[in-house]
Amino acid sequence: MTALSHAITQGSLTSGRLPKFATPVAAVAGAILGFALAVIFGGGNLGLAVLLAYLIFLVAMEIAARVIEGPRQAADRRARHLIVGAFLLALLPLASVIFEVLSKGMARFDIGFFTQSMRNVVGKGGGAVHAIYGTLYVTGMATLISVPIGLLTAIYLAEYGIRNRLSKAITFFVDVMTGVPSIVAGLFAYALMGLLVGPGTRSGFSGSIALSVLMIPVVVRSSEELLRLVPNELREAAYALGVPKWLTIVKVVLPTAISGLVSGVILAIARVIGETAPLLIAAGFTASLNNNLFANPMMTLPVFVFDSYAHPGTDVQAYWDRAWAGALTLILIVMLLNLIGRLIARRFAPKTR
């Protein structure tokens, strides 16, 4: 009762707040206690120390908030601390991955890596230029195949076949397609090209087909969502001016959604550019540069990375250095694509001001 009357006289919105410095103080105290406990009982295990520190901090704040601020505020604080905790926890593996790639990839991230192939190279030296081109060719072709098919399908789903049976079937099977295991896509492309061209055909184009099977559903899914977000008023305005439906889509709907469409495509490229298993089967393996997408095996970066890791010669370190440098290059290519995509989107997006 006294607490309530106190709250009423003081004004409930301002009363009973933990001071602002409570959070950092509790965090520091939790850290010290957690580390001390870890040293005493856990043999100084860093992971254990951080976990203990976090738990102590959570419990301390919970008790303090419950006593001073009441259960609702305590729940709010608990949620916030858990969410921030989840965020920090997730940063841990992600930062570790990036640190690992950067620190180990820099050893061979030099001019030679970007100007030489592995033709006639054994042991040290050499580069991945054949794999970089291969990846650009194969992924570029896959994009050329997937984007028109995916985008047109998305247009059909969002604009034409609203809730009819065909569109329901397509939506369902596109979802199924997102789950086609990547290696199956590779085997499929290999078998298909074997039938069409000749047994055992391996080329960059086969790789593109395998990647397209994986890429199309991602393009459809993201594009469809974005087309649906375009306000109906825009379409209606165009119809009112006598513009036919297809021109409305091309001139009004697509430009409105272009920024999201582009980032959807980039995400789809990012999803497939790192695929290893299908390319190993469909595009094959070579140490030389191949500029012809339609004949002979073509090397790609993921295959290069995997092979350098899995089949090193006697000079293991040289191969591993190249593997990490290849991984770093792959990530940088995706970053670059992302950047280009954003620029394109900005260039074509309708001016809103």
Partner 1 sequence: MSIKPFAVAALVTAAALAFTGCATNEATPAGTGSASGSQTLTGVGASSQKAAQEKWVADFQTKNSSITVNYSPDGSGAGRSAFIAGAAAFAGSDRPFKDEEMGAGKFAGCAADSNALDLPVYISPIAVVYNLDGVTDLALDPATIAGIFAGKITKWNDPAIAATNPKAKLPDLAITAVHRGDDSGTTNNFTDTLNKLAPTVWTEKASDTYPAAFGGEAANGTSGVIQAVTGGAGTIGYADASAAGKLGKASIIVNGKPLQPTADAAASILDHSKTIAGRDANDLAYSLDRTSEGVYPAVLVSYAIVCQTYKDPAVGALVKSYVGYMASADGQKAAAEAAGSAPLSADLQAKVKAALDSVK
Partner 2 sequence: MTAKLSSTPVGSAAAQPKPGPDPKRPGEAVFRGLATGAGILILVILALVASFLLIQGGPALFADPAKLATQGYGEFVSWVLPFAFGTVWAALLALLIAVPVAIGIALFISHYAPRKLAQPLGYLIDLLAAVPSVVFGLWGSVVLAPAMLPLFTTLNSSLGFIPLFAGQVSGTGRTILTVAVVLATMILPIITSLCREVFLQAPRLHEEAALALGATRWEMIKMAVLPFARPGMIAAVMLGLGRALGETMAVTMVLSGSRNITLELLTSQNPNTIAATIAQNFAEAFGLKTSQLIAAGLVLFLITLAVNSIARWIVARRAQYSGAN
Site string for partner 2, 223-242 (x = CB under 8 A): ---------xx-xx--xx-x
Check binding of 2 to partner 2 (CB under 8 A). Answer: no
Check binding of 287 to partner 1 (CB under 8 A). Answer: yes
Burial of 311 (0-12, 13-18, 19+ CB in 10 A): exposed
Task: Tell which positions 194-213 bind partner 1, by CB under 8 A.
Answer: 194, 199-202
Structure tokens at 267: 């995400």
Q: How far is the C-alpha of 8 from the C-alpha of 338, rounded, in Å? A: 55
Check binding of 188 to partner 1 (CB under 8 A). Answer: no
Minimum distance, C-beta of residue 305 to partner 1, in the bound complex (Å):
12
Minimum distance, C-beta of residue 65 to partner 1, in the bound complex (Å):
42
Cβ-proximal residues to 11 (8 Å cutoff; 6+ apart), any chain: none
Minimum distance, C-beta of residue 172 to partner 2, in the bound complex (Å):
7
Q: How far is the C-alpha of 264 from the C-alpha of 176, rounded, in Å? A: 19
Minimum distance, C-beta of residue 302 to partner 1, in the bound complex (Å):
15
Check binding of 18 to partner 2 (CB under 8 A). Answer: no
Residue 161 touches which member of partner 1, partner 2, none, C-beta under 5-8 Å by kind: partner 2
Check binding of 20 to partner 2 (CB under 8 A). Answer: no
Structure tokens at 192: 């298909």
Q: How far is the C-alpha of 152 from the C-alpha of 331, rounded, in Å? A: 29
Of 342, 317, 335, 330, nearest to 123 (Cα)?
A: 317
Q: Is 267 helix (H, G, I), strand (E, B) or coil?
A: helix
CB–CB of 210/187 below 8 Å?
A: no
Interacting residues toward partner 1 by CB under 8 A: 114-117, 119-123, 126-127, 129-130, 132-133, 136, 194, 199-202, 280-281, 284-292, 295-298, 307, 309-314, 316, 336, 339-340, 343
